[in-house]
Amino acid sequence: MNSSRAAYDLRSFAAFLEEHGELVRISKEVERQYELPALLEQLEQQHKAFIFDNIKGASFPLIGGLLNSTTRLGQAIGNDISVPYDHRNHAAAYGAASENPVAHIEVETGPVKDVVITGDDIDLADLPVPTFFELDSGAFITGAVGISQDQSDNRLNMGFYRSLITGKDTLVINASSMSDLRQIYATAEESGVAMPIALAIGVPPALLMAASGKTPPGLSELDLAGGLMGQAVEMVKCETSNLLVPAIAEIVIEGVVDFTNKVENTLGEFAGQYGPETAPTTRVTAITHRKNAMYYSIMAGRNPEHNTIGAISTYGMQRVIAGNLCEQFLNIKDINIACEPKLGAMLHIFISIDKQNDAEPRKLLEAAFAATAGIFPVSMIVKRIVIVDDDIDVYNLEEVEWAIWTRLSTVDKIMTIANVKSWELERCVNENMESARVGIDGTMDMNAVDKLIKPVIPGCENVRLEDYLD
């Protein structure tokens, strides 16, 4: 995979996708509540990018679907995609960027300052923010990256935070218990010093990738994005605070957090369930935007773009677990940590081994559930671990399923663990935030190997149908 060209910003990537027939433009007028999400969901399932030019009552078009496949992740950072590109490829690019970050720089001004709106002119209703599902608390901004500064060390922090619009100039920026923002909120609330915050909407795809999860200690998400882009992210100062925001963002919402006004709110989330959250209100102090700005949105609920970007946050965990387990179990062949809409909010780990005896898979299941992945135990966010033989491609869910249902001979190959500490995104937890975990030994029993061999065509990986078609 060679990086033959520079990474794209939002507009150039949209233009590239449109040129290649992968972006759908819709100019018919659309209601932002329910009608728009109904269309977004269909476009997402087709893995199409989209621009809606005419959303009723809004002053901006809506763009999305840019990163709804792993191929797009590679394309967006400038790879020539002539062979399949999956999370393994992207993890390598992400790892290289983490090792070669490019420090962000502050510049005087940038496109995001083309238009500056303050005071009474601020009206969040101008943005085409969808109301996605029946029981949602209202319209949610989903594709913004939130930028805040840790008062304890002045570090700039970036992440995705679903934000509910509650008024003309108020919104609620949600921070999960795992986010650094939750900690930053707590420090600011305790100190009593005003906390500025900003939402940057329509940023270059590399920033979306960097915002998805936790960076290694000491590495700023912005500098990781610089590493992915091969150039420094240019930042400009906000109009109403000293926070820095990406100069090339389409739209920036600046605000100050009001901890006296916390709001419970609900959104249909990527888990495919409603997720109630409580977070402080942010009072909007300015909106700045580019000329002809586009509003970037990620379809809420169980849809590919969220999980494609979200899976990036598992790369660090993948490295730690792989390192940890491969040291103990020398015959591990491959490990996939899957983050898929069809598997819900929790992660699933698939491990292939060159099994030497029937006791091995159980030992491996126990070790894998007991491992830690950075700051938290694997068991906290992993629902199921499946061990398969090394003839199974752990990146192919269909093969893993096939292995389970053809090789699961006895009940003792299923391991269940009760009352495991979970996190709030798993909605079936009990009052102590605990739930069940499942381990499955989907390997062939040693005495049945001859009966359970998978039929393969020798050399088929070197025979490509394309080479035979006129």
> Which residues here bind ligand FMN, judged by CB under 6 A?
157, 159-162, 174-176, 178-181, 211-214, 298, 306, 309-310
List the structure tokens of 184: 């930053």
Nearest distance from residue 159's CB to ligand FMN, in Å? 2
Residue 211 or 400 with smaller CB distance to ligand FMN: 211
Residue 310 or 439 with smaller CB distance to ligand FMN: 310
Whether 43 and 303 have beta carbons less than 8 Å apart is answered as no
Nearest distance from residue 329's CB to ligand FMN, in Å? 29
Q: Are strands 145-149 and 382-389 parallel, antiparallel or unpaired?
A: unpaired
Residue 307 or 443 with smaller CB distance to ligand FMN: 307
Nearest distance from residue 213's CB to ligand FMN, in Å? 5
* Residues ≥6 apart with Cβ < 8 Å to 133: 37, 267, 268, 274, 300, 301
Nearest distance from residue 179's CB to ligand FMN, in Å? 4
Whether 159 and 142 have beta carbons less than 8 Å apart is answered as no
**Dist CA 89 CA 82 (whole Å):** 13
List the structure tokens of 94: 């992400």
Residue nearest to ligand FMN (CB): 159
Nearest distance from residue 26's CB to ligand FMN, in Å? 22
**Nearest alpha carbon to residue 65 among 93, 79, 81, 46:** 46
CB atoms under 10 Å from CB of 79, counted, come to 21
Residue 13 or 403 with smaller CB distance to ligand FMN: 13
Q: Is 276 helix (H, G, I), strand (E, B) or coil?
A: strand
Residue 79 or 142 with smaller CB distance to ligand FMN: 142
List the structure tokens of 200: 């940057």
List the structure tokens of 5: 């060209």
Whether 408 and 371 have beta carbons less than 8 Å apart is answered as no
Nearest distance from residue 266's CB to ligand FMN, in Å? 12
Residue 174 or 318 with smaller CB distance to ligand FMN: 174
Residue 179 or 318 with smaller CB distance to ligand FMN: 179
Contacts 24+ apart (CB under 8 A), 18-27: 18/49, 22/48, 22/49, 23/48, 23/49, 23/50, 23/51, 23/65, 24/48, 24/49, 24/50, 24/51, 25/50, 25/51, 25/53, 26/50, 26/51, 26/52, 26/53, 26/54, 27/53, 27/54
Nearest distance from residue 312's CB to ligand FMN, in Å? 8
Nearest distance from residue 333's CB to ligand FMN, in Å? 29
**Dist CA 310 CA 340 (whole Å):** 9
Nearest distance from residue 339's CB to ligand FMN, in Å? 10
Q: At what angle do helices 315-328 and 87-99 cross, to 10 degrees?
A: 100
Nearest distance from residue 270's CB to ligand FMN, in Å? 7
Nearest distance from residue 315's CB to ligand FMN, in Å? 12
**Dist CA 8 CA 77 (whole Å):** 6
Residue 1 or 429 with smaller CB distance to ligand FMN: 429
With DSSP H G I counted as helix, E B as strand and the rest as coil, what are the percentages for the chain, rounded to 5? Answer: 30, 30, 40
**Dist CA 51 CA 70 (whole Å):** 20
Residue 140 or 442 with smaller CB distance to ligand FMN: 140
**Dist CA 347 CA 385 (whole Å):** 9
Residue 303 or 443 with smaller CB distance to ligand FMN: 303
Residue 180 or 445 with smaller CB distance to ligand FMN: 180
Nearest distance from residue 212's CB to ligand FMN, in Å? 5
Residue 306 or 383 with smaller CB distance to ligand FMN: 306
**Dist CA 213 CA 313 (whole Å):** 4
